[in-house]
Amino acid sequence: MDARSGFVVVLCLMGLTCAIPVKYVDCGSASGKVTTVDINPCPSQPCQLHKGSSYSVNVTFSSGVATQTSTAVVHGVVAGIPIPFSIPNCDGCKSGIQCPIQKQQTYYYQTTLPVKSEYPSLKLVVQWELRDDDKKDLFCIKFPVQLV
């Protein structure tokens, strides 16, 4: 192991950010293109989300349209049925994005995903959309998680 690899291992062991890109599927990003999705902490996939904890969700994307606003809509998909999932702040312009959003620019959407202790333990797919002024998806991604 070289010095740089050792440094990264030490940082991870210290509990600092050690996210790995999450495998996701594009579910109809009409105007944007997602380049990376990170959930922190998520050391393995599917991400195991512990009830009573909160997770950082970071999506890097480029926008194909200009829009004044952006609104996050999140669903948990269980047995093919989308169930609305509440997040603390659905305003993308207050989640790391400087609005108005410009066409062909790259943005770093950052928010928190709380996992309530009353949620059942199960595997599901999270569908995360960020919508523009016309309620069209700037991005739409799906990724598997396991609530434990």
Predicted confidence (pLDDT) per residue in 82-133, tens digit = 999 889 999 999 999 999 999 999 999 999 999 999 999 999 999 999 999 9
Residue 6's pLDDT is 38
- Is 10 within the bounds of a domain? no
- Is 9 within the bounds of a domain? no
- Is 114 within the bounds of a domain? yes
What is the tally of structural domains in the chain? 1
Q: How confident is the model at residue 2 (pLDDT cuts 50, 70, 90)?
A: very low
Can you give the residue range of the structural domain that contains 60? 17-147
pLDDT at 19 over 60: no
- Is 50 within the bounds of a domain? yes
- Is 8 within the bounds of a domain? no
In terms of DSSP bridges, do strands 137-147 and 47-49 run parallel, antiparallel, or are they unpaired?
Answer: parallel
- Is 7 within the bounds of a domain? no
Could you tell me the CATH number of the domain that includes residue 42?
A: 2.60.40.770
Residue 8's pLDDT is 36
- Is 5 within the bounds of a domain? no
- Is 105 within the bounds of a domain? yes
DSSP string, 20-32: -BPP-EE---SS-
Give residue for tokens 């105007």: 31
Could you write out the three-class secondary structure of 84-135? ECCCCCCEHHHCCCCCCECCCCEEEEEEEEEECCCCCCEEEEEEEEEECCCC
